């Protein structure tokens, strides 16, 4: 099985899995079916999907301030996208379960010694002394997911997302005066609309008090996913079906999408809406065959295709995939996860272990692994235009982001450069957009939809 985990103590593995099987579901079939219905609307062009969060969650992120920051950022971004597209936004967080990460190599060399690669907090730790896979981390992942999800639900139920108390919008970081004016005009339009609704008494709808926020993660560790897969009643028809209750939405990664592989076999059996990463190595016929396997009834919106090509390849590859899917009769959610250009550097003052090189990298004499903000915008813009040309639509975006003021990606209205990376570089995996860069991405996407009205 691809990306499988080898543990030293099989009895400890069995104990951990038995514990997981006895624990209650994290999400319900009612919530899962509600998301499936919402994604059907996205696939039909009647809604937009915003998905974002950390590349890889850490157990330490299960804390009040980082969770609040992520919720706030996703809510602000969704308001901007609603303003731009005049359609509802489905909000999905890479949170409460995104603890595992696929790796191209299961080991790495540090100080001349080969040790296991860091594969996420539910498998091993980042510290060199914690690199041995520990099955007890699977149970810990469940409880950290449960605590995060419980806190998110309590915040939303307590009025955290209440539009009667709009968020503070800080645009002081925008260095270009014209850009700042454009963003401020969007914020003013949003706040004036809310104020007008309050004035005329049209702000009493329940939808203004709270929102739905769904959870998602890559379904990488199959033992964990299987333990939280339960035979439960489908609220839409009363029939018992298999639901993955670890999250509302899980996806298949580029390294685990083999047609005859264990992950595809698992994914085809669950009722959850699912995602499939689609990159440069995906052949047209392989994509349609994969869709036929995981969605034989061709249910609209059941599958979200998360495309990531890189700005240099999207024009050559996306059109063929669009044509193949259209000819197959499948109606999917097309979502763009822009593949940044990752710049690999080594900072002299960095004390953390060296991060491995990923594809689409280039080397320099100094610095750390980073990404260029403009690359995501170029790929998102290209995806938007290509879909329009082929009679389909970009139904959503998938961003690796954090609500914190990190300095991991260069560019954007802050004007971050390579020299700024050491100020607050905290990721243990891939670089993330910070709160200001992520919100700027939402402003730019909203502008595209306004300009095409």
Backbone angles phi and psi of 120, in degrees to 5 = 110, 155
Q: What angle do CA 297, 338, 436 make, to 5 degrees?
A: 125
pLDDT of res. 194: 76
Q: How far apart are CA 88 and CA 38, in angstroms?
A: 9
Q: How far apart are CA 4 and CA 244, in angstroms?
A: 19
pLDDT of res. 343: 52
Q: How far apart are CA 222 and CA 253, in angstroms?
A: 12
pLDDT of res. 188: 87
Q: What angle do CA 358, 364, 365 make, to 5 degrees?
A: 130
pLDDT of res. 70: 96
- pLDDT profile of the chain (453 residues), mean per 10: 90 98 98 98 97 96 96 93 92 97 90 92 95 97 98 92 70 86 87 75 57 96 97 95 98 95 97 97 96 98 96 95 97 87 43 32 51 92 96 96 94 91 90 94 89 65
Q: Give SS3 for 117.
A: coil
Residue 66 CB: number of other CB atoms within 10 A?
A: 19
pTM beyond 0.85: the answer is yes
pLDDT of res. 10: 96
Write down the mean pLDDT value for the chain: 89
pLDDT of res. 345: 43
For 56, residues 6+ apart whose C-beta sits below 8 A from its C-beta are 98, 99, 100, 101, 120, 121, 428, 429, 430
| Continuous H helices in 133-175 | 136-157
**pLDDT tens sequence across 373-408:** 998 899 999 999 999 999 999 999 999 999 999 999
Q: Are 100 and 122 in contact (CB under 8 A)?
A: yes
* HSE, side-chain direction, 13 A CA sphere, residue 316: 10
pLDDT of res. 288: 97
pLDDT of res. 191: 82
Q: How far apart are CA 117 and CA 106, in angstroms?
A: 5
Q: Give SS3 for 201.
A: coil
Beta strands in 219-375 (DSSP E): 229-233, 240-244, 249-252, 274-278, 303-307, 333-336, 342-344, 361-363, 370-372
């Amino acid at each position: 099985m691809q990306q499988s985990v080898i543990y030293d103590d099989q009895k400890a593995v069995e104990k951990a899995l038995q514990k997981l099987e006895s624990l209650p579901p994290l999400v319900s079939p009612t919530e899962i079916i509600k998301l499936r219905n919402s994604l059907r609307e996205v696939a039909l062009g009647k809604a937009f999907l915003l998905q974002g969060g950390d590349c890889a969650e850490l157990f330490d992120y299960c804390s009040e301030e980082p969770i609040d920051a992520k919720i706030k950022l996703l809510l602000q971004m969704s308001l901007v996208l609603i303003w731009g597209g005049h359609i509802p936004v489905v909000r999905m967080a890479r949170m409460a379960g995104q603890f595992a990460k696929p790796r191209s190599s299961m080991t790495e060399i540090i100080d001349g010694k080969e040790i296991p690669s860091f594969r996420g907090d539910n498998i091993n730790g980042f510290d060199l002394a914690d690199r041995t896979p520990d099955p007890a981390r699977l149970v810990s992942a469940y409880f950290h997911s449960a605590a995060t999800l419980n806190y998110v639900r309590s915040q939303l139920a307590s009025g955290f997302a209440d539009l009667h108390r709009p968020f503070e919008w800080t645009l002081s970081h925008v260095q270009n005066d014209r850009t700042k004016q454009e963003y401020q005009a969007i914020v003013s339009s949003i706040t004036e609309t809310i104020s007008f609704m309050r004035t005329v008494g049209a702000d009493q709808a329940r939808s203004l008090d709270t929102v739905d926020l769904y959870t998602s993660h890559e379904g990488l560790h199959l033992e964990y996913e299987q333990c939280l897969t339960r035979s439960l009643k489908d609220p839409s028809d009363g029939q018992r079906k298999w639901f993955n209750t670890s999250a509302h939405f899980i996806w298949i990664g580029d390294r685990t999408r083999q047609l005859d592989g264990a992950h595809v076999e698992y994914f085809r059996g669950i009722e959850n809406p699912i995602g499939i990463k689609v990159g440069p190595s995906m052949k047209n016929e392989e994509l349609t065959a994969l869709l036929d396997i995981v969605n034989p009834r061709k249910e609209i919106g059941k599958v979200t295709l998360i495309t990531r090509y890189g700005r240099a390849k999207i024009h050559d590859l996306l059109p063929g995939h669009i044509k193949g899917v259209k000819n197959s009769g499948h109606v999917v959610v097309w979502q763009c996860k822009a593949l940044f250009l990752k710049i690999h550097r080594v900072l002299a003052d960095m004390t953390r272990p060296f991060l491995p090189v990923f594809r689409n990298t280039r080397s320099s004499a100094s610095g750390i692994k980073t990404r260029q903000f403009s690359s995501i915008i170029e790929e998102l813009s290209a995806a938007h235009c290509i879909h329009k040309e082929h009679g389909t639509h970009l139904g959503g975006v998938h961003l690796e982001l954090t609500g914190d003021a990190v300095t991991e990606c260069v560019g954007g209205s802050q004007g971050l450069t390579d020299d700024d990376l050491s100020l607050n570089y905290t990721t243990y995996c891939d670089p993330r957009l910070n709160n200001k860069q992520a919100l700027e991405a939402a402003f730019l996407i909203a502008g595209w939809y306004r300009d095409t009205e």
